[in-house]
Amino acid sequence: MTINNVWVFAQGSNATVSSFTAELLTKARSLTDNVSAFVAGDGAALAESLGKFGAKKVYSTGDLGGRLAGVAAASAMAALISGGDKPDLILFPQNYDGRDTIARLSVKLGVTVLTNSVDIAVVGSEVVATTPIFGGNVLFATAFTGAGPHLASFRPKSFAAQESGGGAAEVAAVAVPDAGATGAAKVTAVHVEETSGPKLDEANVVVAGGRGLGESQNFAMVEELSKLLHGAPGASRAIVDAGWVPYSYQVGQTGKVVKPSVYIAAGISGATQHMVGMKGSKNIIAINKDKEAPIFAVADLGIVGDVHKVLPKLIEALKSRG
């Protein structure tokens, strides 16, 4: 089939689209000129920024008044589609609200979802999405077989964002239908966790710690090193599950995908789950006492050694440079 109309589930704040949204809009533009954004919130505030990345139109629900985005957005999208405004393909970010929305919408439309994708293309008569599996060693391409709209979600940083030079997107206000019992959850308070350094998935340097650190207090070395390098601290799933650091630190299949210039893995063995989230880093430095650890297979510089000895010396050396 040909793709003539693509929607992107778009997000942003302070009149600026998120980098994730910019990536998806750039990809959408490569498939068709007819790209629209859907914003579960104040889409008008983002119209200019969305237009810069090629959205011609933005569907805007306006303020959700505490309703969760997933149910509200899926209800509004389903209403547009049943009313005849039907895209061939909708691209979603693989994040909290993106996942809720694609899931709810798939049931409302009775169509499949392809998630965790890193690419999408029209191949012959089929729309095919690609997903890396087994830690990214194998690329699995899946074709949609049913009727559209096709629903696909993508990992962050799958595409390089490029501006199109377009003007502000035309704003189309959309109503959010009453979702009944399914819409009963309400946000009563919003908490923003202050981080002093750069965001984990945007940092130029990421220093991540794993179980090899031995105990939770040793994560302080990871934080100190990341600060010295103006980077962000990250973690393997093992130590997030153990409660040493919050989930927001997690790098991997079930956490964040990072592609920094430098990734330093300290005491991380390199489970498949973790590798998915960091293999795209430009340069990888690994410190682990087990020379058989899988992390060394992807490291540009591997140190077989004890993190408790290497990290303090590294920190001292960096400090002495001033």
**Minimum distance from residue 33 beta carbon to other proteins (Å):** 26
Residue 81 has φ and ψ, to the nearest 5°, of -65, -45
Options 34-42, 70-78, 83-91, 213-221: segment touching other proteins (CB under 8 A): 70-78
* Interaction between residue 196 and other proteins (CB under 8 A): no
* Interaction between residue 190 and other proteins (CB under 8 A): yes
**Minimum distance from residue 302 beta carbon to other proteins (Å):** 4
Quick one: how far is CA 275 from the chain centroid? 15
Tokens 């090193």 belong to residue: 225
Quick one: how far is CA 45 from the chain centroid? 22
CA dist., res. 182 & res. 248, Å (int): 27
226 neighbors 232 (Cβ within 8 angstroms): yes
Beta-strand ranges (E) seen in 241-294 are 262-266, 283-288
Task: Decide whether 171 or 295 has the Cβ nearer to other proteins.
Answer: 295
CA dist., res. 256 & res. 310, Å (int): 26
* Interaction between residue 285 and other proteins (CB under 8 A): yes
* Interaction between residue 182 and other proteins (CB under 8 A): yes
Task: Decide whether 6 or 69 has the Cβ nearer to other proteins.
Answer: 69
Quick one: how far is CA 128 from the chain centroid? 20
Q: Which of 81, 89, 222, 298 binds other proteins (CB under 8 A)?
A: 298
Task: Decide whether 33 or 182 has the Cβ nearer to other proteins.
Answer: 182
Positions 152 through 181 that interact with other proteins (CB under 8 A): 180-181
82 neighbors 177 (Cβ within 8 angstroms): no
**Among candidate residues 194, 191, 250, the one with its CA nearest the CA of residue 219:** 250
> How far is residue 247 from each of residues 110, 237, 272, 278, measured CA to CA in Å?
32, 8, 18, 16
Q: Which of 65, 83, 84, 110 binds other proteins (CB under 8 A)?
A: 110
Task: Decide whether 46 or 229 has the Cβ nearer to other proteins.
Answer: 229
Q: Which of 133, 173, 175, 220 binds other proteins (CB under 8 A)?
A: 133
The pattern of x and - marking residues 226 through 265 that bind other proteins according to CB under 8 A reads: ---x-------x--xxxx---xx----xx------xx-x-
* Interaction between residue 107 and other proteins (CB under 8 A): yes
Options 27-35, 51-59, 63-71, 165-173: segment touching other proteins (CB under 8 A): 63-71
* Interaction between residue 114 and other proteins (CB under 8 A): yes
* Interaction between residue 143 and other proteins (CB under 8 A): yes
DSSP letter for 110, please: T
**Among candidate residues 165, 158, 174, 166, the one with its CA nearest the CA of residue 64:** 174
